[in-house]
Amino acid sequence: MEQIEHKYVEVNGLKLHLAETGSGNSPVVVFLHGFPEIWYTWRYQMIAVAKAGFRAIAPDFRGYGLSDQPPEPEKTTFLDLANDTLALLDALGISKAFLIGKDFGSAVISLFILLHGERVSGFITMGVPFLPPQPFKYTEYLPEGFYISRWREPGRAEADFGRLDAKTVVRNIYILFSRSEIPIANEKQEIMDIVQPSTPLPPWFSEKDLETYGALYEKSGFQTALQVPYRSLLEQANFTDPRVHVPALFIVGEKDYFLKFPGVKDYISGGLKSLVPNLQMVNLPEGTHFVQEQLPDEVNQLVLDFLTKNSQS
């Protein structure tokens, strides 16, 4: 990762950490991570797009990784993250960029583009599609042991995670989220109990990767990460016209557990295209929730094809 440089940028009163590679005069690609990810989740894509002539920037959201904690993590919202993204572009003198997001990073992109569409050349989402801000309804028909239901409850995840070191928490979440089934605990379990200590990591996720994530979460903790996305899901804005017309790509792994959420497949096959008419969708048959780390070569090619096509148009 020696090609990737690190810096801090003052944004809305906080120092945000960002990783960067590529020429400063090139078209800009901003990568927005999900959970339990950090900038590091984009390591393969950053190097690939930089080699192809783009400038890659991957920040840690406020409260994540090496970025500052907000003064009141429990009040952090998706709007804060969208505002940070805008302020970051301004601080770096970037008038327009491609945005690439994964998991709840896709939700940040959705909000950002509805607020600041003139700053977006095009966008790619992975795992979670473009979602206009609305009350989060996907938990309505799931049992009490559903992981989001548990993590939305103040104090419960803190107690669950607090039994383990940060590295083990990240390990367990990567294992759970790499499966094709939604993580659901029984009434005698907490979410961390679902994974046995002997369960191996996914084959594409190394011990070195885990060490990196573990060290970053040792620094940041999980307080902001539990607030956004999990406890701020219902904190949303309304837009009279939630359609976006810039070029877009949605990359989804067919084994992604998110597809099991009620209503998600219907939305992807139906309403999504009406909201994003210039959307291309690509299914990766073996892909799980972490396609960008699991299948970097395939994802990199899709990303480069999209960026090359739409930076020349």
Judge whether 230 counts as a catalytic residue: yes
Show the DSSP H helices in the chain as ranges: 43-51, 78-91, 104-116, 147-152, 156-162, 166-177, 207-220, 223-227, 264-269, 271-275, 291-294, 296-312
Judge whether 266 counts as a catalytic residue: no
Question: Which tokens is 27 given?
Answer: 């078209």
Judge whether 174 counts as a catalytic residue: no
For residue 313, count CB atoms less than 10 angstroms from its CB and return exposed for 0-12, middle for 13-18, buried for 19 or more. exposed
Q: How far is CA 284 from the centre of its chain?
A: 18
Give the span between the Cα atoms of 276 and 189, in whole angstroms.
Answer: 40
Show the DSSP H helices in 92-186 as ranges: 104-116, 147-152, 156-162, 166-177
Q: Which residues pair with 305 in a beta bridge?
A: none
Q: Which residues pair with 28 in a beta bridge?
A: 55
**Residue among 17, 60, 209, 289 flagged as catalytic:** 289
In 3D space, the residue among 118, 110, 116 whose CA is nearest the CA of residue 276 turns out to be 110
**Residue among 60, 103, 160, 256 flagged as catalytic:** 103
Check if the beta carbon of residue 56 is closer than 8 Å to that of residue 45.
Answer: yes
Give the span between the Cα atoms of 119 and 89, in whole angstroms.
Answer: 9
**Residue among 213, 230, 256, 257 flagged as catalytic:** 230
Catalytic residues: 103, 230, 289
